[in-house]
């Protein structure tokens, strides 16, 4: 049982998304946010919560390049398990890079897309991959690559949650910016920034750097933050 209030760890801008996820209002959740928006923190909290509520599901977390996993999404999920006070309920290893829920055997698996063969050959002890997270979505090659990965991962089950998080690229012609202009019935697109986050979480230096850039170069500030 979770012993904390999620509001202590989750920025208010994500409360409505969290409720939609709980109700399975959509399958695809796209989180576009600037620096300090805590979008990755939000997703990392959501994944173990979903697995605990759906004991037949496993999760796969993807980045474009495998050597970025350890110091980004893996560390982020470690933080989430600690924030939820359930770290002791999970066995964590880096070789293979996975986290296993001790009570059920459910897995959180981490892959770089530069080795697609590993993704296609995933073997699970039971159940199916019900939760997928694409971190830094804009670094992937495009929607064709995402569709191909989803076709490999999102099958064999009844309910799926697919999260994507990214900082919107500067160019309006970037594939991810163009894709998010399309209206997809089963996709919720959420935008966030650091202004809705508890300043104590970010610290005074973060706020100072943001304010300094805003005064110096508002175009860069709007893109980065």
Please give the positions annotated as active site. Answer: 136
DSSP assignment string, the chain: ---S-GGGTS-GGGHHHHHHHHTT--SEEEEEE-TTS-HHHHHHHHHHHHHHH-TTEEEEEEESSGGGSIIIIIHHHHHHHHHTT-GGGEEEEETTEEEEETTT--EEEEEETT-HHHHHT---SSSEEEEEEEESGGGSS-HHHHHHHHHHHS-SSS--EEEEEEPPPS-TTSHHHHHTTS--TTEEEEEE-GGGS-HHHH-HHHHHHHHHHHHH-HHHHHHH-
């Amino acid at each position: 049982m979770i012993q904390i209030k999620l509001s202590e760890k989750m920025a208010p801008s994500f409360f409505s998304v969290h409720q939609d996820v709980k109700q399975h209002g959509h399958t695809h959740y796209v989180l576009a946010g600037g620096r300090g928006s805590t979008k990755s923190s939000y997703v990392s909290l959501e994944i173990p919560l979903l697995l605990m509520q759906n004991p037949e599901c496993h999760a796969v977390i993807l980045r474009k390049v495998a050597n970025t996993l350890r110091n980004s999404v893996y560390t982020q999920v470690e933080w989430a398990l600690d924030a939820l006070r359930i770290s002791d309920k999970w066995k964590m290893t880096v070789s293979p890079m996975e986290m296993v829920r001790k009570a059920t055997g459910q897995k959180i698996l981490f892959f770089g897309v530069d080795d697609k063969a590993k993704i296609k050959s995933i073997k699970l002890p039971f159940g199916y991959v019900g939760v997928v997270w694409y971190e830094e979505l804009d670094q992937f090659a495009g929607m064709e690559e995402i569709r191909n990965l989803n076709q490999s991962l999102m099958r064999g089950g009844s309910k799926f949650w697919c999260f994507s998080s990214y900082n919107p690229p500067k160019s309006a012609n970037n594939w991810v910016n163009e894709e998010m202009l399309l209206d997809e019935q089963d996709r919720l697109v959420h935008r966030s920034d650091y202004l809705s986050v508890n300043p104590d979480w970010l610290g005074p230096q973060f706020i100072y750097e943001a304010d300094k850039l805003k005064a110096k170069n508002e175009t860069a500030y709007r893109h980065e933050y």
